[in-house]
Structure 1
Amino acid sequence: MWIQGFSFWIKGFSLLALISVISALEPELGSTRVVFQTKYGDIEFGFYPTVAPKTVDHIYKLVRLGGYNTNHFFRVDKGFVAQVADVTNGRSAPMNEEQRREAVKTVVGEFTEVKHVRGILSMGRYDDPDSASSSFSILLGDAPHLDGKYAIFGKVTKGDETLTKLEQLPTRKEGIFVMPMERITILSSYYYETENCEEDRSILKRRLAASAIEVERQRMKCFP
């Protein structure tokens, strides 16, 4: 009986040790959070600054400049990815000069051993490993065939229910892409720090929701 108990204790200890190792391998999120607002709900994500610092700097700057506002998810492949369009061609509103300068930049391929699993943010690119610019995918399932080939730079922290809603929308096949039948617009975006910013975040969220309506009204008026 004592030997059986000891064996059970050893197995339990080994399992805890394995869980600790796995946890230790998971990258640490930075304190910054970004929120994309859509009519289906918000998607919030954080960055892995120690995993892909150049990619994080580039995407974060585009967010701060409002580059993703009026952009859209051009691809929604259930169980695989929801992909944000390149901001240069994906926005419905025109870009200013500062946004344009940042949007055309490319970043080197920061490939790591972090795994492509649901919720992970992974940069899109062409055949050139250093061709990533502003398009990125949110993983809707595990995709081990992408591991080590595309730069992972963050993960979704809130909004998995929104991703599920997007997966349920009607789609069409166009070449290798599965695309939504309707335009899934990023109405607005904002960012905040996780430390002591809940009240400011709530106020900003309400203001941006209101401004998104005005932006769309002006767009329809001036750019039909």
Structure 2
Amino acid sequence: MLSLLKTPSSGRKRGKPLLGVGAALWSAALFALWQSTASAAGDGVELPPPSTNLPASSTADTQTAVLAGGCFWGMEAVFQHLDGVSDVVSGYSGGDSSTASYRATSSGRTGHAEAVQITYDPQTISYAKLLQVYFSVAHDSTQLNRQGPDVGPQYRSAIFYANDRQQAMAEAYIAQLGEAGVFEKPIVTQVDPLSAFYPAEAYHQNFAYRNPNHRYIVVHDWPKVDNLQRLFADIYRDTPVIVATK
């Protein structure tokens, strides 16, 4: 299954070991599939901003948002390039601590989704703007339990809200986009309460920037960052926020 193509040891995509001509054919077929599904995450769309916004924060305290939309490598890379964002951590949400690992989550049976926890300054960037970026360029919200070649509920589109205001904003924006008919297919993004967020293994953090020529990153994730710069030039930052890892 293509959802199991990232190895816990190195983060590289894996398949059944093959040799000789068979390996070459498998590689060519897999790359063709990557190319055929790249447009789902790579086109980007200019969506209207949420018509309902959260009040601006009156304090200097940072806030967090937890979003899921396919492989966390690309989600992380996108939000690392936003002004006002101070940290983006790849991890797992939706399950419990006993299964909060890449190996367990990859089974698709833990309840977890690959997600990112975004720490941001609400005086610089709003939760509404994060959602606009999320739906515009970070992933395809019309794909059910998958993103491109990654298949399974661990790759689902989901917003994990931390409070009533985040829930109201997420639900209102999904309804707004649905009524506007901005996508050809229905939005399938889940809006669920945040019970916990568990950081992923260190080798997953900053993956795109440590592996800029990785074929998966080149095909699926750099186009998202390019679209972010094109569609959100006013909040795009050239230098990404890098997660501190041990």
Higher-strand-fraction structure: 1
Work out whether the TM-score is over 0.5.
no
Larger radius of gyration: 1
TM-score relative to the length of structure 2: 0.29
TM-score relative to the length of structure 1: 0.31
